[in-house]
Structure 1
Amino acid sequence: MDARHSACLLAGLVFLLHGFAAWAAVEVSMEDRVEVLKGETAQITCMFTSDDGIGALTIRWFYVSKTGEKHNIYYQDATTQMVERSTSFTDRIMVNVTMATGEVVLTITDVQLKDQLEFICLIKSLTDGVSEGRTKLLVFERPDSPTIEGVQTGIYVSEATPSKIGSCEVKNGFPKPNITWYRNNAPIQGDSDEVKIMPSTTMESSGLFSVRSELSLKVMKEDKDAQFYCKVTYLVPGGTRMTETNRINITVYYPSTAVNVWVESPKGKIKEGDSIMFHCYGNGNTPSSVYTIKHGEKEYTLESNTLILENVTRLQNGYYECISIDMETFDELSGNTTVFVNYLEPAVVLPTNIEIAQGEELTATCNALSSLQTHTAWFKNGREVSVGHTLIVKDVTFDTAGAYTCVVTVPEIKGMEEMKTLRVTVKGAPQIMKPEHTDLEESVANTVELTCHVRGFPSPQIIWTTNDGKILETTSQNEMEDGVHSMVSVEVTSDLTAFCNASNEYGADALAFNIKAIQAATAIPPKKIRKESNGVIIAVIIICILLLAILGSVLYFLYKKGKICGRSGKQDLTKEKSSKDNIVVEMKSDNTEDAVLLGVNGEKLLRSPQ
C-alpha cells in the first residue's frame, strides 16, 4: 500500500515538472520569406514568447551558406551585444529587441544578390527553454528595357524550313526574366515544324541574368502585314511585372497570281503630244520578277515597274500587254490595257486668201478632222467675230479687210486646239482718211509735214501737188495692212494749198491741205495780245496809286513840321483849314461812279457833284 502510494506521488511529481517545463519553454515564429530589391534594406522579424525577462534570454542570429553550413553573425545576452566580425554582414546589420511585443528585428542594409540566404533566429532562456525560426531572404533586380531586332532580308514563303524572324534580349535581371513572342497580339508557341523558339541565358559577372530568344517560323503571305514583338515578365517583391518591346514587320516574298497594267498619267483622255506613263505590277512580292510591255511588234523592258512613252501619236493606239516572269520558278503571268490617243488635225481654211470688191459677200470655211467633238470660232484683232465652220460677211467694206484667225478646239481636252489664218483684201477706189485738221497756220520759213492715209486695193498711186501745179517730192511712203501712208515736207513761203491725189484702176480721191503763212511778229493771236496789254495797264495804275499815296504822306509830314508853306510845328491844330492849304489828288476808277479826293493827310473827300 505504501509502495503503491509512493509510486503515485512520484508519477504526479514527474507530470507536474514536465508540464511546468513545457509551459515555461521559449516559442519563436518567423515568416517563410522576406523579399527585397537589390540595394535596398531588408528587415527580418523574429517573434518570440517567454516568461523570462530580457536579462534571462540569449539571442543569436545565423545564416546558412550555399553549402548548408550555419554561420553566426550576432550574439546577445544579459551583459553582451556583439556582431560577429569578419563576415559579409559585419558592417551592414543591426538588431533591435522589443520585449513588450516579443520582437527581434534583424536589419540588413544595401542588400546584394549574395545575401539571398536562409537566416536563423535562436532564443534560449535560463529555464533551458530553446527555440529557433528560419526565414529565406529573396533578392530581386529589375531588368533593363528589352530590345528586339528583326531580320533585314526578305523571307520567301517557299522556304522548306522555318526562317529566322528576329531576336529579343533582356539584360541584368534577377531572378531570370522570361521572354514570350507575340504575333498580332497572340502568343507564339514554339517547338513545332512551323515554329522554333531558341532561348539562351547568360549570367553576368554581377550575378544578374541576361536572356536572349530567337524566333524562326515558316512565313505565310499574311505575315507581310503582321506585327511581331516580345513580352518580358520578371519578379519583383510581392508580385510579377511585364514590359513589351517595340513592334517589327518583316518582308515576305510571295509569288504573284495576277498582273495588272494601267495608265498612271495623264488622267482622263489622252491626246497626241502627251507623255504616257504605264505602271505594271503583280499582286505578289518577289525581287526575282522581270516585267516587260508589248505593243504590236515592239517590246519594252520596264525599270521600277514603269514605262514612259513621250510625244505619243495616234499610231500608238491599241493593246498593251504586261508580262511578268519569275526568274526562279520561270512562271509567267500577264495583264493588259487598251490605249486610245485622241487627235486633232491641222485646220484647213478655204480659200486661204480672198480678194473681194466692196459691196460683195465674203464666204470662207474652216474645218479640222478630230476624234472628238470640236468647236470652231473666228477672230479678228483678238475679238471673236463669228462662231461655226463658215465665215460670212455681207456687203464688205474696207473695214472688212484684214486677217481672220480660225480657232478649232476640243472642249473635252484642255489645250487641244488648231489655228489657221485667212487674209481678206477688199478691192475698190481709193478712200482718203480725212485727218482732224486740214486748215493750218504756220510761220514763214518753217517746214510743215503733211500725212495722207489712203485705203484701197490695188494699192493706190499717191501724188502730192500744189495749187500752182507744182508736184511735191514724197518724203516717205509705206504700204500698211490697212492702206498706204504717204508723207511730204512743205517749206512755207506764202499761202498755199497742197493736194494728196490717190488713184487706182477703180477710181481716184483727193484731199486739200490749206496752209496760211503768217509773219513771225504777228504770230501771237490778237486775243492773247489784248489779255497781256490789259494786265500791263492794270499793273501801271496800281504802281501810280502807291506812289501818289507815298508822296501825299511825305508832304503832310513836312507840312506838320513847318517845313513848307511858312508853318511851324506849334501852330494851333484846331485852326480851321483853308481850302488853299489842301492838296488834293483826284483819282478816277472805271469801277466807281464818284471820284475820290485824297488830301495831304490822306483823308478821303467826296467829290462835289458836277
Structure 2
Amino acid sequence: MDARLSASLLAGLVLLLHGFTAWAIVEVSMEDRVEVFKGDTAQMTCMFTSDDGIGALTIQWFYVLRTGEKQKIYYQDATMQVVDRATPFTDRIMVNVTAATGEVVLTITDVQLKDQLEFICLVKSLTDGVSEGRTKLLVFERPDFPTIEGVQTGIYVHEEMLSKIGSCEVKNGFPKPNITWYRNNAPLRASDVVKVMPSTTTESSGLFSVRSELSLKVMKEDKDAQFYCEVTYLVPGGTRMTETGRINITVYYPSTAVHVWVESPKGKIKEGDSIMFNCHGNGNTPSSVYVIRHKDNEYALESNMFVLENVTRLQSGHYECISMDMETYEELTGNTTVFVNYLDRAVVMPTVMEVAQGEKLTATCNALSSLQTHTAWFKENRKLSVGHTLMVEGATFDTAGIYRCVVTVPEIDGMETMATLRVNVKGAPEFMNPKHRVMEESVATTVDLSCHVRGFPAPSVIWTTSDGKVLKTTSQTEREDGVHSMVSVEVTSDLTAFCNASNEYGADAASFDIKAIVSTTAAATTISTSTLSSSTVVRTTAAATNTRISTLSASTVVRTTAAAINTRTSTLSASTVEAATYIPTKKIRKEGSGVIIAVIIICILLLAILGSVLYFLYKKGKICGRSGKRDLTKEKSSKDNIVVEMKSDNTEDAVLLGVNGEKLPPSNQ
C-alpha cells in the first residue's frame, strides 16, 4: 500500500515538474542561410514561440568571429532596445519584432564580402527559459566577362612536349568562379595529352580572379579545331554560366603529297602567253622549299605561285614541282604537262606580182600551226575569198593594189598572223578624172590644175600648153593607184593646158580649156530731162538694156545711151518726178569678179540719190518751171505725155513703152 502511494506521489511530482519545465522553455527557428549580392540588403528572420508575453522576453543578436567567439550587436527587453557600438554593423542594422507572429527580423544594408558570417538570434524568458537559432549570411558577386587568348605562333605536330594552346581568365567574382576548357564542344580533362593549369588571385577588394592555361599534344586534326572556355559561378539561389569566344591555332604538319597545275590561262596556251603555275603540298610547314623543274631548268618559288612570261613552243613539256622539308629533309614531287600552241608567220607566194590587163592572177598563202587554221584574203578591208589560194580572172587596173592574207586559229582568240601581196597591172596610162575640162577664170588669177593618171609602169607626166610651152610641175606624187600631178597657171588670156602621161605601153593626154574673163565697170551717167508735164514719172531700169523708147508724149524726150545719160531740165510742172537708172549693158559672166557687182550696186545707189535730189529741188522751186511756166526753147507738144528713147551701142529694135511702162500697140509705133 505504501509502495503504491509512494509511486503515485513520485509520478505526480514528475508530472508537475515536467509541466513547469514545458511552460518555461522558449523555441527559436531560423533558415540555414541567407544569400544576397554584394551591395544589396540582407534580412534574417528569427521565429520564436513562448508562453510569456513579449514584455517578459529578452532578444539578442550576435555574429560569430573567425575565431569562433560571439560578438553581440543588438539587445532588447521590455524596457530598452540597444545597438552595440563599435561593431561593423552598428550603422547598418535594424531589428523589427512582431509579437503576434513571433518574428524578429534583422536587416543589414549595403552587404559587403566581410559580412559573410554566421549570425545568432537568442531569445530568453523571465523564467530562465532560453533558446537560440543560427543562420549563415552568404555574399555573391558576378565576375567580369571572361577572356581567351590563343598562342600566336604555329605549333608543330611532331613536338614531343605538350604545346601551349592558350589561356582563359575571369576576374572579380565571388565566390571563386570555375573555368572549363572545350575543344569542338567537348570538355577537356587533364590527361597525358591534356594539361590544365588553373591559378587564383585574391584582389584587394576581396574578389577572386581565376586564370587557366591549356596545353596539349597537337595533332593534324587540330588545325580546324575550335577552342573556348566555359566559366561557371554562383549566384543567390543557383549557378550561372558564360562562354568565351572561339579561337583557332596554327598547326604545322608535313606534306604527304605535292600537286602542281596551271592556274592561268585557262584552256589552251599559245606562244606569247604568261603561264602561272600553282604548286602545293598537302602540308603546311614553313620549312618546306618548293622548286619547279623543266628539262634542265630549275625555278625556285618564293611562294606557291610561279609565272613564266612570254612562253614559246620550246617551253612545252613536263614540269615537276619538288617540295623539300628542311627539318626532316623529306622530298616529295608532283608533275604536270604543258603544251604551247604556235602559229608561224604567214607566207605569201609570190609577194609581188605583175600581170597584164586581162590576165589571170593566182597567189597562195600558208602558215604553219599546231592547230587547225582559217585563211581569208582582203583588199581594202573587203573580204575577197576564203582559202589558201587567191584567184582573180581578167585583171584590170582596179585589180592592182595591196592584198592581205589573214590566217587565224579559230580555237584560240587572238591567235592570228598576216602577210601582204602587191599586185601591179601593166598597161597604158589611164586618166581617173575627165580628159577634157572647160573652165572660166578671171584675168590675173592663178589656177591650180591637177590630173590623176594610173598605169604600170608608173606613167611619166608632163604639162604643156597649146602653143607648145612646157609648164613647170608644182607637185607630183606616186600613189598605189597611179600618179597625181599638179601645176599652177596664171591666167592672162584664153589658153589650153595639157596633162601628158606616157609609159612603155602607150600615152594619153587630158586637156584644160581656160576662158579668160575681163571685168568691166559702168561709165559716167548723165541724165537729160526736158519739158516734163505735170503728174509724169519716168522710170528706167537695167532690164531695159538695148531698148529705144520713143513717141510716148508730145515734145518730151529723154535719151539714154550705154555711154552716158544726158539730162536737160526745163519748165517742170508742179507734180513732175524725174528719175533715171542705168546698168551697164554688157552681160557679166558668172565667173567674173565680185568687184564688178559691187561697182554696179554703188552706181545704182548714186543714181537713186541724184533722182531724189532733183525731185526735192523741183518741189522747192529751185528748178525753173516750178511756177508753172513752160520752157519755150522746146517745141510745144500737143499732149502732156513723155516720149523716152533709150539707145545702146547695139543697133537693136526699139520697144515702145507707155507712161507706166506698158507696150504700145503697133499702130502707135
Q: TM-score over 0.5 for the alignment?
A: yes
In the alignment, structure 1 residue 525 sits paired with structure 2 residue 589: yes
Q: Give how far 1:23 is off.
A: 4.3
Amino acid in structure 2 at the alignment position of 1:383:
R
Distance 1:530 1:319, change over 3 A: closer
Q: Give how far 1:84 is off.
A: 1.0
Q: Give how far 1:180 is off.
A: 0.6
Q: Give how far 1:4 is off.
A: 5.9
Report if the CA contact (8 A) 2:436-2:510 is conserved.
Answer: no
Tell me the SS of whatever aligns to 2:16.
helix
Please list the CA deviations of residues 250-288 of structure 1 after superposition, one character each: whole Å capped at 9, or x if unmatched: 111112111101111222111111121212111112122
Tell me the SS of whatever aligns to 1:438.
strand
Q: Which residue of 1 aligns with 2:169?
A: 169
In the alignment, structure 1 residue 512 sits paired with structure 2 residue 506: no
Equivalent positions of 1:349-498 (< 5 A) are 349-435=348-434, 438-498=437-497
Amino acid in structure 2 at the alignment position of 1:123:
V
Please list the CA deviations of residues 555-592 of structure 1 after superposition, one character each: whole Å capped at 9, or x if unmatched: 9xxxxxxxx99xxxxxxxxxxxxxxxxxxxxx97679x
Q: Give how far 1:133 is off.
A: 0.6
Please list the CA deviations of residues 419-468 of structure 1 after superposition, one character each: whole Å capped at 9, or x if unmatched: 11211111111001225982111112222221111101111121222222
More displaced, 234-243 or 40-49? Answer: 40-49
Report if the CA contact (8 A) 2:225-2:248 is conserved.
Answer: yes
Q: Give how far 1:476 is off.
A: 2.1
User: Distance in 2 between the 1:490 and 1:445 partners?
Assistant: 10
Q: Give how far 1:524 is off.
A: 3.9
Q: Which residue of 2 aligns with 1:248?
A: 247
User: Distance in 1 between the 2:87 and 2:278 partners?
Assistant: 79
Report if the CA contact (8 A) 2:44-2:107 is conserved.
Answer: yes
User: Distance in 2 between the 1:120 and 1:430 partners?
Assistant: 139
User: Distance in 2 between the 1:385 and 1:341 partners?
Assistant: 32
In the alignment, structure 1 residue 128 sits paired with structure 2 residue 192: no
Q: Give how far 1:150 is off.
A: 1.2
Q: Which residue of 2 aligns with 1:231?
A: 230
Q: Which residue of 2 aligns with 1:104?
A: 104
Q: Give how far 1:538 is off.
A: 12
Q: Which residue of 2 aligns with 1:338?
A: 337
| Unaligned segments of structure 1, at least 5 residues | 556-563, 566-586, 594-610
Percentage of identical aligned residues = 77
User: Distance in 1 between the 2:456 and 2:124 partners?
Assistant: 147
User: Distance in 2 between the 1:7 and 1:316 partners?
Assistant: 130
Distance 1:185 1:536, change over 3 A: farther
Q: Which residue of 1 aligns with 2:525?
A: none
Distance 1:542 1:447, change over 3 A: closer
User: Distance in 2 between the 1:530 and 1:316 partners?
Assistant: 82
Distance 1:479 1:32, change over 3 A: same
More displaced, 96-105 or 131-140? Answer: 96-105
User: Distance in 1 between the 2:14 and 2:345 partners?
Assistant: 139
Report if the CA contact (8 A) 2:435-2:511 is conserved.
Answer: no
Q: Which residue of 2 aligns with 1:603?
A: none
In the alignment, structure 1 residue 273 sits paired with structure 2 residue 337: no
Q: Which residue of 2 aligns with 1:189?
A: 189
More displaced, 137-146 or 198-207? Answer: 198-207
More displaced, 380-389 or 136-145? Answer: 380-389
Report if the CA contact (8 A) 1:443-1:523 is conserved.
Answer: no
Q: Which residue of 1 aligns with 2:203?
A: 204
Q: Which residue of 1 aligns with 2:147?
A: 147
User: Distance in 2 between the 1:489 and 1:330 partners?
Assistant: 90
TM-score (norm 2): 0.78
More displaced, 98-107 or 339-348? Answer: 98-107
Q: Which residue of 1 aligns with 2:546?
A: none
Distance 1:116 1:546, change over 3 A: farther
Report if the CA contact (8 A) 2:430-2:453 is conserved.
Answer: yes
Q: Give how far 1:306 is off.
A: 2.4
User: Distance in 2 between the 1:540 and 1:74 partners?
Assistant: 144
Distance 1:167 1:547, change over 3 A: farther
Distance 1:530 1:442, change over 3 A: closer
User: Distance in 2 between the 1:158 and 1:413 partners?
Assistant: 49
Q: Which residue of 2 aligns with 1:83?
A: 83
User: Distance in 2 between the 1:33 and 1:437 partners?
Assistant: 133
User: Distance in 2 between the 1:178 and 1:267 partners?
Assistant: 57
Distance 1:462 1:69, change over 3 A: same
User: Distance in 2 between the 1:395 and 1:53 partners?
Assistant: 147
Report if the CA contact (8 A) 2:442-2:591 is conserved.
Answer: no
Distance 1:185 1:437, change over 3 A: farther
Q: Which residue of 1 aligns with 2:302?
A: 303
More displaced, 375-384 or 180-189? Answer: 375-384
C-alpha root-mean-square deviation of aligned residues, in Å? 3.2
Amino acid in structure 2 at the alignment position of 1:98:
T
Tell me the SS of whatever aligns to 2:321.
strand
More displaced, 6-15 or 318-327? Answer: 6-15
Distance 1:546 1:104, change over 3 A: farther
User: Distance in 2 between the 1:86 and 1:384 partners?
Assistant: 116
Tell me the SS of whatever aligns to 1:268.
coil
Report if the CA contact (8 A) 1:501-1:511 is conserved.
Answer: yes
Tell me the SS of whatever aligns to 1:61.
strand
Q: Give how far 1:404 is off.
A: 1.5
User: Distance in 1 between the 2:600 and 2:86 partners?
Assistant: 139
Tell me the SS of whatever aligns to 1:114.
helix
Distance 1:175 1:452, change over 3 A: same
Amino acid in structure 1 at the alignment position of 2:162:
P
Tell me the SS of whatever aligns to 2:107.
strand
Report if the CA contact (8 A) 1:378-1:404 is conserved.
Answer: yes
| Unaligned segments of structure 2, at least 5 residues | 521-585, 622-626, 629-657, 665-669
More displaced, 123-132 or 37-46? Answer: 123-132
User: Distance in 1 between the 2:87 and 2:317 partners?
Assistant: 95
User: Distance in 2 between the 1:51 and 1:536 partners?
Assistant: 155
Please list the CA deviations of residues 203-257 of structure 1 after superposition, one character each: whole Å capped at 9, or x if unmatched: 2232222212111111111110000011010101111011111111111111211
Q: Which residue of 1 aligns with 2:45?
A: 45
Amino acid in structure 2 at the alignment position of 1:343:
Y
Tell me the SS of whatever aligns to 2:395.
coil
Q: Give how far 1:533 is off.
A: 8.1
Distance 1:111 1:472, change over 3 A: same
Q: Which residue of 2 aligns with 1:30?
A: 30
Distance 1:492 1:53, change over 3 A: same
Q: Which residue of 1 aligns with 2:540?
A: none
Amino acid in structure 1 at the alignment position of 2:271:
E
Q: How many residues align?
A: 562
User: Distance in 1 between the 2:186 and 2:97 partners?
Assistant: 54
TM-score (norm 1): 0.85
Q: Which residue of 2 aligns with 1:74?
A: 74
More displaced, 126-135 or 231-240? Answer: 126-135
Distance 1:268 1:523, change over 3 A: farther
User: Distance in 1 between the 2:90 and 2:587 partners?
Assistant: 135
Report if the CA contact (8 A) 1:162-1:193 is conserved.
Answer: no
Amino acid in structure 2 at the alignment position of 1:525:
R
Please list the CA deviations of residues 526-551 of structure 1 after superposition, one character each: whole Å capped at 9, or x if unmatched: 799999989998999999899999x9
User: Distance in 1 between the 2:197 and 2:587 partners?
Assistant: 120
Please list the CA deviations of residues 498-545 of structure 1 after superposition, one character each: whole Å capped at 9, or x if unmatched: 111111111111111111111022794379999998999899999989
Please list the CA deviations of residues 280-323 of structure 1 after superposition, one character each: whole Å capped at 9, or x if unmatched: 11111212222112211222222112222221111111111111
Distance 1:421 1:86, change over 3 A: same
